[in-house]
Structure 1
């Protein structure tokens, strides 16, 4: 599970029985090497400063050849959680789940119940879908009537980490990181889910907490 905090506006800006697992570039035992492996989560103000962008990357360290044959798992729900009153409990969720070559989005909507299990909010009045972009193809972006934009598909892994040097530093055999370091993830890919949401749909001012979860059908 990945967490972030965003200041909005005032500064610069139904499947049942799903259970949460979390990871970070295959280092979490519960999700290591699985289709529910979350590599990174990003949340930031959009180019349109009235919007927020949420990005979840899954299934990291894909080689180009592996990327062309890897797809989103239809048994894995990706859920963006939004806490608007700073009590560390989600008040809104945006859910994304693949079906037959499309990624379906539901919300922002209040969850049926907060916590580690979820129902998919198929009855939400706010929803959208986008064709999953094939590897090597131009990005397919869809927009719904609420002004949300959506994307799903493979992308180059944006995370920079000199993993070998990190192990040396942690192990006490190196005094610090090199500048520049070596990008361990260069040439590898992830599967990305991106949704851009008007701020008015998640609150127009104040601080929100946000995190992402992968929930697997049991």
Structure 2
């Protein structure tokens, strides 16, 4: 295994610190959003890990947009006997803003029900309830050997998520508003062909107000994010000789390569998500719990009967661009951010424009001058442009309220996976020599223009925070942030002299290559989850 222990002090260590200032970008940085706030660590079933929004690149589906929200992080495949069912006392939502005001115009609501069948076996002269999720091999939807039937519903709300008009999304075959969720990948003796079993749970659906049918899938998937998690949070315990050498792009192991997540995936025609002539949409996912919970000292027989839950919904998780709450928002505001709405994000602006992590690393590492190598053009309005408003000419709405969310230009055509630039828009801008040459770009369909599973958001953020985009945009005005309320002018904010790596920042990486993560070529795109056994 590659030794990634850093030297105790050197100019190279300064470069590591500067590189890792990416966390201040208000975007994905060195890990996805697992266990990012104090409260959410106590409620993993409603902890969002990653959110994806992209034009579908499956053959024949180019006019569709795929929305993927992953929940319940760090699932071990052997997590029986209960495994990782989602919470029937929670409300999971995906929100779309299609007019740039940072308020939801469309919301897709997921609710879950876990019904105990209470399978019994004869033991002597008694029939006794089994202790497991399954009583034998499983291969079909509604399999008789499943002891718990997992089902879900999906609603679409137009307008405010609580007071708007709600309708049910239904199965295109038969019209049912209730869908079956596959059991998690217990292992090969229970599920001999998990890919075939899970594929039975991909549904064609009718969406009220949309003439084109869509697709839905909810189920366990292999975690699609790649990161060296322990090393990163150990004060970036890696040498610059690794992260600045493209030959070491995949030199370190992916810490979460053996973990699963639970995926909520929708595929919807792009014209059903936009409004008017503006093709840009914003998206984020949230989870909410009932305000009141009463624990029972004597739960009655059944399934998940230890508490009673009532009252209005209270939002406890929020995720648009990855890792914002994990390493950008101050510890005192993490729970508050998870409860907040994008329309109020100016309250968190200082965390983006005046990042603390470079200064923090400069204090805790041996070299006190380390933080000075990060860009000093404060406030970092270049970062606010990329991550709070969208980039002009790429994914900035016609009118925009600065807010943290993914923004996708649905008019930009998808690119087949084999041709995707792993650095997304940033990689293409650097490759063609600047935004003035975007007509030569092949792939503008990636992060931060939405986010695809293949996009290496860690390295993309490195490019942005190290000034690659600032340098190629001169004084930064090409990024189009001038005149946005709450953000000062970009004039003289992006100076090449203040950026340590400039346009060469494209060479910086985190030593774990996102592009090597296995994916499917079609909806729901994320790979088959790791099984509890393999033979």
Q: Same fold (TM over 0.5)?
A: yes
**1:88 alignment counterpart:** 102
C-alpha displacement at 1:120, in angstroms? 9.3
Kindly indicate whether the alpha-carbon contact (under 8 Å) linking 2:228 and 2:254 is maintained by their aligned counterparts in 1: yes
Cα 1:167–1:125 change in 2 (3 A) is closer
Q: Counterpart in 1 of 2:155?
A: 106
Kindly indicate which of the two structures has a greater share of residues assigned to strand. Answer: 1
1:69 aligns with 2:139: no
Distance 1:31 1:90 in 2: 23
**2: CA distance, partners of 1:120 / 1:73:** 24
Q: Does 1:199 align with 2:270?
A: yes
C-alpha displacement at 1:27, in angstroms? Answer: 2.0
Looking at both structures, which has the greater relative contact order when contacts are Cα pairs under 8 Å and sequence separation is at least 6?
A: 1
Q: State the TM-score, normalized to the length of structure 1.
A: 0.77
- CA deviations on 1:52-88 (whole Å, 9 max, x unpaired) are 1111111110101117622010111111110101111
1:143 counterpart residue number? 204
1:152 deviates by: 0.9
Larger radius of gyration: 2
Please, what is the CA RMSD of the aligned residues? 2.6
Aligned residue runs from structure 1 range 15-164, under 5 A: 24-34=33-43, 35-46=45-56, 47=58, 48-66=61-79, 69-100=83-114, 101-107=150-156, 109-111=157-159, 113=160, 118=162, 123-124=166-167, 126-127=169-170, 128-136=177-185, 137=194, 138-139=197-198, 140-146=201-207, 147-164=213-230
Give me the whole-angstrom Cα distance separating, in 2, the residues matched to 1:62 and 1:208.
Answer: 31
Which of the pair is proportionally richer in helix?
A: 2
Tell me by how many angstroms 1:164 deviates. 2.7
Contact 2:71/2:263, CA 8 A, preserved across alignment: yes
The 1:134–1:172 alpha-carbon spacing in structure 2 relative to 1, beyond 3 Å, is closer
Gaps of 5+ in 2: 1-25, 115-149, 171-176, 186-193, 208-212, 292-535
Which residue of structure 2 lines up, in the alignment, with residue 217 of structure 1? 290
In structure 2, relative to structure 1, the CA distance for the partners of 1:171 and 1:187 (3 Å cut) is closer
TM-score, L = length of structure 2:
0.33
